[in-house]
Structure 1
Amino acid sequence: MATVDIIVPTYNTAKYLPIALDSVLAQTFEDWRILLIDDGSTDNTADIVASYQERLGSKLVYIKQANGGVSAARNNGIRHATAEFLALLDADDVWLPWRLAESLRCFEDRPEVGLAYGLISRIDSEGTVIDTFKGNRRNAQGKIAPYIYMRSVQLPTSSMMFRKACTDKVGVFDETLKQTEDRDLWLRMAFHYEVGFAPRVISLYRTSDDSLTTDSDGMLKAQLQFIEKHYGSPGCGMTARRIALSHIYRQRAEAFGLRQQMQGAVQSSLRALALYPLDLSNVRTAGSFLLRYAGLYR
């Protein structure tokens, strides 16, 4: 019988933590344990956890650490994990009741599958659904490491489950990566294992009003670091690198566009197009921003 350790990193998210924990309690699969890693919170997280510890006993392990960032917190959880399967839940996200059951189904009679993911919906700060991640059904599962590298498939962290044996083999989150650390780990796993896919919404990812104004330069730096780190690995050659870079610059263009920074949007979209002109999405994005920049389209 499978067991699951659920790793929940939290840092000053007491407002949302009860919602996340209640979503675990509502799971149809019940053989789980929560490893809650408090990454140096200064709010009332400890008080909230205490109330759940009274109810859950040994099914909730509370681990405090000095603030080290989300990767350090998740790695601490992995080090304390003993279950066959590990699942990730951020403290401001929400699982749907079938999340664990659907994820585990991806591994049934498939020892070659090391990690699995599912669909998610984005919600706002109040829990209202914004949109739903559709997934890339063409390259959704199997031996898909090159597609992870090229950013042709997305593996949402709050929907991820993986065998503990995977981290024993490839290591844990790279704490030197301030962003894209999740994609980095999934890629390293996918070099050795097949990826499973649950074609159903299993998790809700909470976004905030300021998510559109994140550090775009910092994100670009981390994404480029990821691409160069794995360049030359199996399936990650020159063409894959150009495709990956084009996806990054198209995403950057779209972020500039949402902030109405048209010059940056045009420059980034043209760079994406130059890197990989065979992708029609690059053509459409560049054309759209050029028209908007010229004042011909709104």
Structure 2
Amino acid sequence: MAVYNKEEYVAKSIESMLNQSFSNFEFIIVDDGSNDNSPDIIKKYAKQDSRISLIQNDANLGLPVSLNIGINAARGKYIARQDADDISKPDRLEEQLKIMENNRDIALLGAADELLDIDDIVFSKQTYDEGPNSPNHQNIIKTLENKGGYIFAHGSAFYRKEVVKKIGGYEKTFIYSQDIELWWRFHKNNYKIAYLNKTLYSQRIVPEKFRVKSVYQGKFKNYLQDKIQLDNYHFSDIDVILNSLIKARGEKDKFIDSYYLSNYWFILSKKIALNKGNLKYFIKYLSRALRERNMLRTKMYKLLGCIYLYLFHRTNRSDQYSENELIYLN
């Protein structure tokens, strides 16, 4: 687990791992130069539980570099990812380990997840039914190959250390979408990827993810798509793209803060609408979005769009899952 300034959530994340039904593991936490109370929180837990091993970077090196540091320090044969603001279900490691031990051909295993808001409320589940969008259909791999598409939460990943080191670990220039890039290399090198359609992970959706990530996500996906199609791995100019985007933001931070907080609540509302979730929280999130400072016309368009989706959209996703449904993605 890599941590950077997650003092608000890191304790819950750590506790979710320490309370696993399977207990024979080492918990490597890489603090990536945090300047909040995250290191002190981690140290407190490390004193209480000898399974925790804390590595502290001297500076903020970025998620891919920190994950590679953790992988290189690991002594076990498997790596289970965990994000510092997310929560693993108590049986997560036990379930995923059982699958990997009984299916030696699987190199990478993801799992269904649920989405949490900043108040710890579950507002959506990312499981699949057997409709045309089910991950056992070939269009999922096509999405991964052609669009750099999302197939499961990065934090739910469970993979063989030997394989991830053999294919080079995380690409350090992918500050975002590093999971998609790595999954594609699993696939390219003919290692099997599978998905357990059981909710084992809680992914927290926080405003910061939209404030920063949404600025760069389109550029990264387009860039990833081009590189995959060309089968050409020269990523040095990604930093040039990022620096240009950062400079383009200029002095608009105050507006951006309000804009992305508003967008955060609208996105949560949209996710509930797409999954026909709880009406109470749908209304709550919309009202929070409307209270943020933002352009009125933009908010009205988003409000009407969310209401339309909730009333009329039909989805193939389901909040129900098959307890032992293992789906091969390639």
TM-score normalised by structure 2 residue count: 0.64
User: What amino acid is the match of 1:139?
Assistant: P
Q: Does 1:170 align with 2:167?
A: yes
With CA pairs under 8 Å and 6+ residues apart, which has the higher RCO, 1 or 2? 2
Cα 1:135–1:75 change in 2 (3 A) is farther
State the Cα deviation string for residues 188-213 of structure 1 (Å, max 9, x = none): 11222111221111111111235445
Match runs of 1:60-79 below 5 Å:
60-65=52-57, 66-79=59-72
CA distance in 2, matches of 1:9, 1:107: 23
Q: 2:42 aligns with which of 32, 40, 49?
A: 49
1:227 to 218, 225, 228: 225
RMSD: 3.0
CA 1:139–1:45: 2 relative to 1, 3 Å: closer
Cα–Cα, structure 1 residues 26 and 228, in superposed 2: closer, same or farther, change >3 Å? same
In 2, Cα distance between the equivalents of 1:82 and 1:190? Answer: 25
In the alignment, structure 1 residue 139 sits paired with structure 2 residue 132? no
Whole-angstrom distance in 1 between the partners of 2:16 and 2:215:
35
* Separation (CA, whole Å) in 1 of partners of 2:221 and 2:150: 15
Among 78, 96, 100, the residue aligned to 1:85:
78
Give the whole-Å Cα distance in 2 for the aligned partners of 1:205 and 1:117: 13
Which residue of structure 1 aligns with residue 204 of structure 2? Answer: 206
Q: Distance in 2 between matches of 1:140 and 1:160?
A: 17
What secondary structure is seen at the aligned counterpart in 2 of 1:127? coil
Name the CA shift for 1:109/1:75 in 2 (closer, same or farther; >3 Å).
same
CA distance in 2 between counterparts of 1:199 and 1:215 reads 27
Structure 1, unmatched stretches of 5+, are 1-7, 234-254, 260-291
CA contact (8 A) 1:141 1:195 kept: no
Percent identical among aligned pairs is 23
CA-to-aligned-CA distance 1:151-210 (integer Å, 9 cap, x gap): 566121111000001112211111112221110101111222111221111111111235
Alignment partners' CA distance in 2, 1:141 and 1:74: 30
Deviation of 1:215 after TM superposition, in Å, equals 4.9
Change (3 A) 1:39 1:100: same
CA distance in 1, matches of 2:169, 2:159: 12
Which residue of 1 is the match for residue 8 of structure 2?
Answer: 15
- 1:232, distance to aligned residue in structure 2 (A): 5.0
TM-aligned CA deviation for residue 84 of structure 1: 0.6
- Supply the distance in 1 between the matched residues of 2:37 and 2:88 (Cα, whole angstroms): 23
Equivalent pairs, count:
237
For the structure 1 residues 167 and 40, does the alpha-carbon distance in structure 2 shift closer, same or farther, using more than 3 Å as the test? same
Question: Are the equivalent residues in 2 in contact too, given 1:144–1:194 (CA < 8 A)?
Answer: no
1:114 is aligned, of 103, 107, 115, to 107
Deviating more after overlay: 87-96 vs 152-161: 152-161
CA distance in 2, matches of 1:44, 1:215: 23
User: Which runs of 5 or more residues in structure 2 are unaligned?
Assistant: 232-259, 265-300, 309-330
How many angstroms apart in 1 are the aligned matches of 2:156 and 2:143? 18
TM-score of the two chains, using structure 1 as the length reference? 0.71
> Separation in 2 of the partners of 1:157 and 1:135?
17
State how 1:143-158 maps to structure 2 within 5 Å. 145-150=141-146, 154-158=151-155
Q: Given that residues 128 and 135 in structure 2 are in contact (C-alpha distance below 8 angstroms), is that contact kept between their aligned partners in structure 1?
A: no
Contact in 2 for aligned 1:135/1:153 (Cα 8 Å): no
Conservation of the 8 A alpha-carbon contact between 1:72 and 1:175 = yes
Q: 1 CA distance for matches of 2:138 and 2:110?
A: 12
Deviation at 1:108, TM superposition (A): 3.0
Structure-2 change in CA distance of 1:44 and 1:214 (3 Å): closer
